[in-house]
Each structure stands twice: as structure tokens, then as C-alpha cells.
């Protein structure tokens, strides 16, 4: 492969890798937000449990049953969202690994090609030097 074409291919694979990297960053941000929602819900539940003086009056009205139902429904929704984001993350991680592999392989190929080019130049120079020494009588 010509050096110019190889350089273009390396740049393309780097760009594809960076695109996959940005996509995974967005997914990770979504996952962090969902985990924060879950933590806020846990804090609300803990705060509600820490108020024993209100428990009796809340139970008389039946609000504790409604609260537990709301908390259970909300927790289930958050866990569903988290599972969906984690599934997307797994797919994105696989794409990121592939993109990194391609990028890494192209960079290694470019380095090997540059080393071969340097080696061929050195060999050609040595051959030219030997020819000039041998042809000078």
C-alpha cells in the first residue's frame, strides 16, 4: 500500500475510533444519571423511614401503601431504564473494541511500512556506496 493511502486509512480508522469513543461517553453519562436517580430514590426512602413520629398518622390514611406502591413502580422503571442503557453499553463497548483493534492494527501496519521503507533506503544507499567503491579503480 502506498504511504499516502496508508496514512489516509490510519486517519479514517482513528476518526471511526473517536466516534465510537464519543458514543460510549454519552451512554456512560446516561448510565450515571440513571444511577443518580436510583440513589435519590434510595435517599427518599431512607428519609421517609427516618420519620417514625409520622408513621402512625400516615398509616391511618393509607398513604404508606400508596408511597410503597409509588416507590416500587419508580424503582422498577429506573431499573428497566438502567438495564436498557447497560445493554446499549455492551453493544457500544464491542463496537469500541473493534474500532480500537482496527485503529491499532493500522497504526502498527503504518509503523512496519515506515520501518521497511527506512530499511529499503538504507539497503539502497549501501548498495550505491558499494557500487561506487567497486567501480572506482
Q: Could you report the per-residue pLDDT of 87-133, keeping only the tens digit for each? A: 999 999 999 999 999 999 999 999 999 999 999 999 999 988 888 88
**Cα–Cα distance for residue pair 54/51, rounded to 1 Å:** 6
Asked whether 18 and 103 are in contact (CB, 8 A), the reply is no
Q: pLDDT band at residue 45, thresholds of 50, 70 and 90? A: confident
Q: Is the pTM above the cut of 0.85?
A: no
Domains annotated on the chain, with CATH: 3-135 (1.10.287)
**Of residues 82, 39, 97, 47, the one with CA closest to residue 67:** 47
Amino acid at each position: 500500500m502506498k504511504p499516502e493511502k496508508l496514512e489516509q486509512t490510519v486517519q479514517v480508522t482513528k476518526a471511526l475510533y473517536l466516534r465510537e469513543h464519543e458514543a460510549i461517553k454519552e451512554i456512560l453519562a446516561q448510565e450515571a444519571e440513571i444511577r443518580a436517580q436510583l440513589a435519590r430514590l434510595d435517599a427518599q426512602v431512607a428519609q421517609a423511614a427516618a420519620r417514625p413520629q409520622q408513621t402512625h398518622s400516615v398509616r391511618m390514611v393509607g398513604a404508606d401503601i400508596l408511597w410503597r406502591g409509588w416507590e416500587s413502580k419508580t424503582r422498577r422503571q429506573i431499573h428497566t431504564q438502567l438495564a436498557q442503557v447497560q445493554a446499549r453499553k455492551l453493544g457500544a463497548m464491542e463496537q469500541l473494541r473493534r474500532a480500537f483493534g482496527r485503529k491499532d492494527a493500522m497504526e502498527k501496519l503504518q509503523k512496519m511500512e515506515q520501518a521497511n521503507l527506512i530499511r529499503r533506503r538504507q539497503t539502497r544507499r549501501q548498495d550505491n556506496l558499494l557500487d561506487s567503491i567497486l567501480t572506482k579503480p
